[in-house]
Amino acid sequence: MIFKKLKHNILQKKFDKALQKSTINRVVSQKKIQSVGILTSEEIFSKLDILPIVEEILEVRNTKIYSFRPFNKLDEFSYKHFSENDINWKGEFIQENFESFLQQPFDLLICYFNKPNLYLESAVLQSKASFNVGFSGVNSNLFEIEISEDILNVNEFTLELKKYLQIIKKL
């Protein structure tokens, strides 16, 4: 328990420092959206089927999704989930599949979580995506567009996102 708390505090400091650097150096792509990645939590992932709704409304294919779930010894290994054990003390993700997800240069990364979560926020920060979208109230420094919507309203969120993306000519 003590090590978990210590690791969390170290990661928080590293995250804050990296976030400060990234907000200064962030370059937003003007490219049209063709590839989409989605980051969410296990709680949301298990309740909502986000992927087909996003693909249908935004008219994109081959969307990839990953979710964060708290570590549990009884959980089976999954290629669609990562946990706090998949990040080392340096703040680097060590699970190869998730690392390759983060290294993909998505045109759009949808951060579908509405509560601050150090591990999800770190993943967003380390992602090579060129345009990040998320819920307001999480961390405004991570996103180019923040949408205020109920987390259970996937359709409304995605329609609102589509509207904004059309305004800035990314769709």
- Would the pLDDT of 119 be above 80? yes
101 pLDDT band, cuts 50/70/90, is very high
Q: What is the mean pLDDT of residues 161-166?
A: 96
4 pLDDT band, cuts 50/70/90, is confident
Predicted TM-score (pTM) of the model is 0.92
Q: What is the mean pLDDT of residues 101-115?
A: 96
- Would the pLDDT of 169 be above 80? yes
Per CATH, the architecture of 2-26+35-167 is what? 3-Layer(aba) Sandwich (3.40)
Euclidean distance between CA atoms 115 and 139, whole angstroms: 9
pLDDT at position 74: 83
Spell out the residues 6+ positions from residue 62 whose beta carbon is closer than 8 angstroms to its own. 35
Q: Which amino acid is at 136?
A: S
145-147, strands of its sheet edge to edge: 81-82, 64-68, 36-41, 108-112, 132-135, 145-147
Return mean pLDDT, the chain.
92
55 pLDDT band, cuts 50/70/90, is very high
Q: What is the mean pLDDT of residues 83-107?
A: 93
30 or 11: which carries more pLDDT confidence?
11
- Alpha helices in the chain, H assignment, sequence order: 2-25, 42-47, 50-58, 96-103, 118-126, 154-167
pLDDT at position 126: 94
